[in-house]
Structure 1
């Protein structure tokens, strides 16, 4: 729904929390490899989305909030041990107590064990590994 949809506030009255963006980066250690080829399971990325959502709730509402649901989770590319993953969360909708967030996990650096045991490279273009939409709930404001 856009700001001009029926029942939505006009753009000038849009909630300033909309559009807040949180970015986390994390090195994926080899101890988190779960499958052959040093692959990391998708649940690991969902946990990273949860961490970014927690910071978004702290920034928008002064509370960690609680994750209520994920929708439209898509795993698009593999994540491997030795990668650096950038997780982005953007507040897309602000309700009375709920917040809808859009997530993207991107591989920005990749281990290159084929070049040496500790070799790695910064990717020229990040690889989108996963996307999702999530809903969090925060406490009602006092008063």
Structure 2
């Protein structure tokens, strides 16, 4: 049996978190912000695997592991782990790769020596029948 060559495909986006997205003390950003990033990498994944934007149908096991703050640079990654007829299973990870450093100055920031895993999740995307059929041919 041949394994699906799409399995293992990885999509990564990076985004600066603007201060306008801070909702809580300490410039904390709500978890929905990261879930939106996961939706963006899922969309690109579907485009790459099926030539269609697809639809993010569900999240499972969302884990908020570390805070996300305004001034962070986040790296959101999706890895395709399984592919059904129309569904695709994705593993998501959001890492903080840069962080504001206001102790050095109002606009100071630093690259973190090791990224901080902030959020992980598993998700399922679905693609329309025509896109799924095209991807299989």
Q: Is TM (by shorter chain) over 0.5?
A: yes
Is residue 36 of structure 2 the alignment partner of residue 38 of structure 1? no
Where in structure 1 are there 5+ consecutive unaligned residues? 1-9
Matched residues in 1 for 2:17 and 2:58: separation? Answer: 25
Q: C-alpha root-mean-square deviation of aligned residues, in Å?
A: 1.1
Task: Please give the TM-score of this superposition, normalised by the length of structure 1.
Answer: 0.90
1:113-128 matches, cutoff 5 A = 113-128=102-117
Greater per-residue strand proportion: 2
1:67 maps to which of 36, 50, 56: 56
Residue of structure 2 in register with 1:98 after alignment: 87
Number of residues paired by the alignment? 132
TM-score by length of 2: 0.94
Unpaired segments ≥5 residues, structure 2:
none
- Within the candidate set 60, 64, 69, 1:80 is matched to 69
Runs ≥4 residues deviating over 2 A = none
- In structure 1, what is the Cα distance between the partners aligned to 2:85 and 2:128? 9
